[in-house]
Amino acid sequence: MSRKLGIGLVVFLIFFAALVLIARYLLSTVGAVEGFPGRGDRVALIYVEGSIVGDMQGGSSLLSGLLASSVETVRRLEAARKAPSIKAVVLRVNSPGGSAAASQEIYAEIEKVKQDKPVVVSMGDLAASGGYYISSAATKIYANPATLTGSIGVIFSGLEFSGLMEKWGIASQTVTAGEYKDIASMYRKMTPGEREMLQKLVDQVHAQFIAAVVQGRGMDEAEVRKLATGMIMTGEQAKAAGLVDELGGLHEAEAEARRLAKLPEDAPVVSYQKRRSVFDMLDMFGRGSSATSASRSLLDGASSLTRFVNGLLRRDVGAGLISN
């Protein structure tokens, strides 16, 4: 065996052994950091960041920005509710809204937690529409003066290309069983009957939104209806309207959660930690790459931009979904 071949073999074996050790470590810690770490009485911190969706997992994409999974959020709230050492929950909301049904799932779980433990919402840059929907269930709401919130409204949107298709000589061929099966099709204009039916659906979900705010905030229905125009307001305006309790950031919300739970001022606040996966190994290697860091920065910037545009202009997730 040549000297170069021997050195190469030793290097390969060392590298292989290192990979095995890392993989064994990650595998041995799967499930070890699921939930709220630490001991003693403490406050749970749960983040809801991005457009609210009913998918199994959240994440981010270039077009939709950050996505907050109602499934994951409900699971974290449930874990906080069942943990004896968790005495209060702080929900950090930074969301332009999203799926109406997914928002209702989170709202319902917050209501459950609130029966046993105080839930304090801390609004970030944006807690509008569905972001406000879930916040309204909390024991107390904090917003920054410049937070964009409110937007108590519902939207159903879609695109229609019939004029463009006619110009280019393109025709759609659709076979349906049921009068409304292809409702809101992008290939033709909506009929008056279809628009009326969709308007009734949107109005019903809007009424559900109003009822949720009335119940969560303890406000008069007529008062909430005056505010339920879909308009966005600042945190300062929301406080004056009764939609927010106090002006302040995450620090103030944490302090209030401790006070409501009758915990000492130095009681720890711990954020939810996901279960580790062997795929974390790939991410660990990627963090050292300058190309990876650059691509992450680009995606983070695009995510922030698209989240801001979605929050201010559309406030919905995907055409054809009833969103708030």
Residue with tokens 């009424």: 207
CB 138 within 8 A of CB 253: no
User: Which of 28, 61, 82, 181 is the catalytic position?
Assistant: 181
Regarding beta strands 148-150 and 42-49, do their DSSP bridges make them parallel or antiparallel, or are they unpaired? unpaired
User: Which of 129, 136, 151, 185 is the catalytic position?
Assistant: 129
Which residues is 155 bridged to in the sheet?
A: 323
Which residues is 88 bridged to in the sheet?
A: 43
Mark whether 129 is an active-site residue: yes
DSSP string, 20-72: HHHHHHHHHTTTTT-B--SSSSEEEEEEEESEEE-SSS-EEETTTEEEEEHHH
Q: How far is CA 59 from CA 53, 55, 220, 322, in A?
A: 10, 10, 37, 21
Q: What are phi and psi of 319, to 5 degrees?
A: -65, 140
- CB atoms near residue 240 (< 10 Å): 11
Mark whether 114 is an active-site residue: no
Query: Could you list the active site residues?
Result: 129, 181
